[in-house]
Amino acid sequence: MTTPIEEPTITTAASLAYAEDFQGEDDHLAAARGRADQVGVVPVGPGAGAALSFLASAVQAKSVAEIGTGTGISGLWLLRGMQPDGVLTSVDLEAEHQRLARETFVEAGFAPQRFRLIAGSGLDVMPRLTDAGYDVVFLDGDKVEYGEYLDQSMRLVRPGGIIVFDNALWHDRVADPAQRDPETTAIREVVQRVKNDERLRSVLLPVGDGLLVAQLY
């Protein structure tokens, strides 16, 4: 009788780093990371950024909504995966962060009509966005609001569109049931809601700090 052989899993930091840096980043992304360091923003890593660009390309995204602009790193990855006439709508509480993101986008060669920056909280702005008007909705705002972001995103994304949550593993805390702080609990609950929702096809990607990806049927 043949003994089943389990598929190996990634176990070394070297393999994780190799996968994370698979695409690498250019000077425009490096400059945006420098700006993020200056203002204390923690952006997505190269692995998560490359995944966002791939997802936007896979659905031929022309309209993307983002909650959490930062200094434009995730937005730049998304723009590079979108259709040439696509528009990114990005929401952030900090107007200064959005000023820096604008610099990132323009320096990378994107015309101003390719992005719309809105200063405000995600939960204030999302209800004003168009129903089923987006191919991709990317959430990287206040973690305790993730459940409400999901409710809004289900309305905003078109059938076949994609909802993506950053920090879905939250610094290894989500997988540890002993961790019960508000942020970890909110993320864990969203992961379970997405997993159990029959309207969604989902996958949890272990890139960066974790990407939870769901496609609306």
Tokens of 154: 């289900």
Mean pLDDT of 65-83: 98
Model pLDDT, residue 13: 87
Residues 155-185 pLDDT 10s:
999 999 999 999 999 999 999 999 999 999 9
Tell whether the model's pLDDT for residue 197 goes beyond 70: yes
Share of the chain above pLDDT 90, in %: 90
Least Cα distance to 58 among 208, 196, 213, 178 occurs for: 213
pLDDT tens track for 109-127: 999 999 999 999 999 999 9
Residue 214: CB atoms within 10 A of its CB come to 25
Mean pLDDT computed over every residue of the chain: 95
Q: What is the pLDDT of residue 132?
A: 98
- 144-155: average pLDDT: 98
2 — pLDDT class (breaks 50, 70, 90): low
Residue 187 pLDDT greater than 60, yes or no? yes
pLDDT over 90 (residue 12): no
pLDDT above 70 (res 204): yes
- Mean pLDDT along residues 12-38: 93
User: For residue range 123-148, what is the model confidence (pLDDT) as tens digits?
Assistant: 999 999 999 999 999 999 999 999 99
Exposure string (b/e) for 147-179, b if CB count within 10 Å is 16 or more? eebbebbbebbbeebbbbbbbbbbeebbeeeee
HSE-CB for 7 with a 13 A CA cutoff = 1
The predicted pLDDT at position 9 comes to: 74
**Predicted pLDDT at 1:** 55
More confidently predicted of 157 and 16: 157
